[in-house]
Amino acid sequence: MIIKSDNIVSDIKESADVCIVGSGPAGSVMAMEMAEAGLSVIVLEEGGHFSGSRLNMREEDMLPALYNQRFTKDLSIALSQGKCLGGGSLINMADSVRTPDGVFRMWEKRFGITDISPDTMKKYFDRAESILKTKKIEEAELNNNNLVLKKGVERAGYTGDAFYHNREGCIECGYCLLGCPYGHKQATTENYIPRAIASGAKFYVNARADKIVGDGERAEKVAGTILDGKTGMDKASIEVTAKVIVIAAGTINTPQLLLKSKIPDESGLIGKNLILQPYTMVFGLFDEELKSYRGIPQSYYTDRYEEVDEDRGLTGFRLEGGFTLPGQVSTVVPGFGEDYKELMTEYSRMANIMVLVFDGPDGSVSLNRFGRPVIEYEMKGETKADMVRAMKESAGLLFAAGAKKVMFTYEVPAVISDPSEVSIVDERGIEPCTLTIMSFHIQGTCRMGPDPKTSVVDSYLECHGAKNLFVVDGSVSPSTSSSHNMLPTMALSHRTADYILANRGRYFG
């Protein structure tokens, strides 16, 4: 059952075996697994419910409705997360990427996580992929934008590959980032959530969790607010008492909720070790019309530049084909006035390479005096150097594919007509608020590990400070879990669900 705020006229008090905060990839997994095991489940989702015709494919409507858009404190990096039923699975590019084996070995070596390994995780990745209907994108499905990257990679003598994705019967309209009104993208609204509802789970949408209430040792209830679905204003209160509470609110909102709730934390690491995996874009301008906005937006990549270091995890950078809609492109194309207008008229002749850089845990989330998250992040020298190199390599690949001009997303326009001019990136460097930088795969603010002195949750994602409180989103990753962290987060959530059900007597009596 999906309960909308339109139908709520008074305060609500509920009880359940399991209360889950957040309905994104990880929260949906927990809801399905717990409900299908016969437990009563209530899910609180701050965003609304959008499907079918409500996903109207208009940027001006869907971006504010589906996204929780934030910035770092210095305004230098834009952070995007889902704020809707299904969370990030509804609005992402539907790329399904497993955690590299070497990352698990690094977690064991550096963080002492001995019971998570390629062998123990395989069945959970398999399960998630089966439900998501994951398969490899076929070469015939590569759109012109991704074919540009493929051509550049091959002409440079490098290697690349198509992504695995969770789509079924895709009509290749190109609107993935605004949700799929046709239901072909296998967001959790198409599988996990319907299965959870069929087994009795209740989903409150426009329901914000404000505080976890407990006795100092155990979490007992979630106190929250029902929001008006149109205005976002407070409408009523909601309180859910539960035997197990699961937080899947995302890497920013989860530490915010734990800090506001004063959950015991011997490590002092709630909100620390923020990983942003910063992105930027490099555009190529071609003579021919590409219409890069048509087709699967992100389908090809090269991992030539990334490595798995068993001391540091994923390092280097990845280059991906990725294109988006005109409103979003207009916010990153550099320049002003007539020059800017002229560049935007070339929209249908543009191709774009997405630059994804693997960073370290270089940021933090804290609270201001109003209890709102403050996101601080300083890009370190090695990350900056990787981004500079990645931008230069992207330019080279675009020129190799036939681009006549290449433009970088600096605030002060940087448009070059020859590969020899790429040194402008060395000259400009990476300084705050001078280059468009974004983050979509946010991780790391509630690090897992065996020692309560150095981690927030254990390897089964149970809080060290509250023995029936679990955190199952990307915040638990000790380092970058993958180039795209939806699938790793879901696999870990499946594992946690197995653990809870295997210890059913302890948690539910």
Q: Which two three-digit tokens encode residue 136?
A: 């490899």
Same domain? 425 vs 376: yes
103 sits in which H/E element: helix 101-111
Same domain? 400 vs 478: no
**CA 500 to the chain's CA centroid:** 25
Same domain? 124 vs 51: yes
Determine, yes or no, domain membership for 145: yes
Q: Is 464 a catalytic residue?
A: no
Please give the pLDDT value at position 423: 97
The tens digit of pLDDT for each residue in 328-382 reads: 999 998 888 998 998 899 999 999 999 999 999 999 999 999 999 999 999 999 9
If you write DSSP's letter for every residue of 359-395 in order, what string do you get?
Answer: --S-EEEEE-TTS-EEEEE---HHHHHHHHHHHHHHH
For residues 121 and 289, give the distance between their C-alpha atoms in angstroms, rounded to a whole number: 44
Please give the pLDDT value at position 221: 98
Determine, yes or no, domain membership for 127: yes
DSSP state of 474: G
Its sign, for the CA torsion 305, 443, 28, 126, is positive
CATH code (residue 231): 3.50.50.60
Determine, yes or no, domain membership for 189: yes
Determine, yes or no, domain membership for 228: yes
For residues 9 and 4, give the distance between their C-alpha atoms in angstroms, rounded to a whole number: 11
Please give the pLDDT value at position 168: 95
CATH code (residue 143): 3.30.410
For residues 74 and 375, give the distance between their C-alpha atoms in angstroms, rounded to a whole number: 9
Determine, yes or no, domain membership for 192: yes
Please give the pLDDT value at position 131: 98
Longest Cα–Cα distance in the chain? 70
Same domain? 494 vs 401: no
Same domain? 118 vs 146: no
Q: Which residues line the annotated binding site?
A: 474
Could you say which of 49, 165, 441, 464 is catalytic?
Answer: 441
Asked which of 439, 471, 488 is the last residue of a domain, the reply is: 439
Same domain? 278 vs 259: no
| Tokens 């594992």 sit on residue | 495
Number of domains present in the structure of the chain: 2
Same domain? 374 vs 226: no
Q: Which residues line the annotated binding site for FAD?
A: 474
Asked which of 417, 439, 461 is the last residue of a domain, the reply is: 439
Same domain? 303 vs 408: yes
Q: Which residues pair with 378 in a beta bridge?
A: none
Determine contact, residues 167/134, Cβ cutoff 8 Å.
Answer: no
**CA 75 to the chain's CA centroid:** 19
HSE value, Cβ hemisphere, 13 Å, CA-based, for 65: 21
The tens digit of pLDDT for each residue in 426-468 reads: 999 999 999 999 999 999 999 999 999 999 999 999 999 999 9
Its sign, for the CA torsion 8, 10, 16, 20, is positive
Its sign, for the CA torsion 326, 94, 83, 480, is negative
Same domain? 289 vs 230: no
Same domain? 238 vs 313: no
Q: Structural domain of residue 183, as residue ranges?
A: 2-69+79-135+177-267+446-504
Determine, yes or no, domain membership for 509: no
Determine, yes or no, domain membership for 74: no
Please give the pLDDT value at position 282: 98
Q: Is 484 a catalytic residue?
A: yes
Same domain? 163 vs 296: yes
Determine, yes or no, domain membership for 238: yes
Asked which of 392, 421, 439 is the last residue of a domain, the reply is: 439
The tens digit of pLDDT for each residue in 198-235 reads: 999 999 999 999 999 998 889 999 999 999 999 999 99
For residues 43 and 51, give the distance between their C-alpha atoms in angstroms, rounded to a whole number: 18
In which residue ranges of the chain is pLDDT below 50? none
Report CA-CA distances (Å) from 289 to 247, 347, 349, 403. Answer: 46, 9, 5, 12
Same domain? 217 vs 162: no
What pTM was estimated for this model as a whole? Answer: 0.95
Could you say which of 49, 184, 484, 494 is catalytic?
Answer: 484
Report CA-CA distances (Å) from 318 to 152, 168, 266. Answer: 14, 26, 36
For residues 27 and 15, give the distance between their C-alpha atoms in angstroms, rounded to a whole number: 18
- 393 closest CA partner among 156, 82, 101, 151: 156
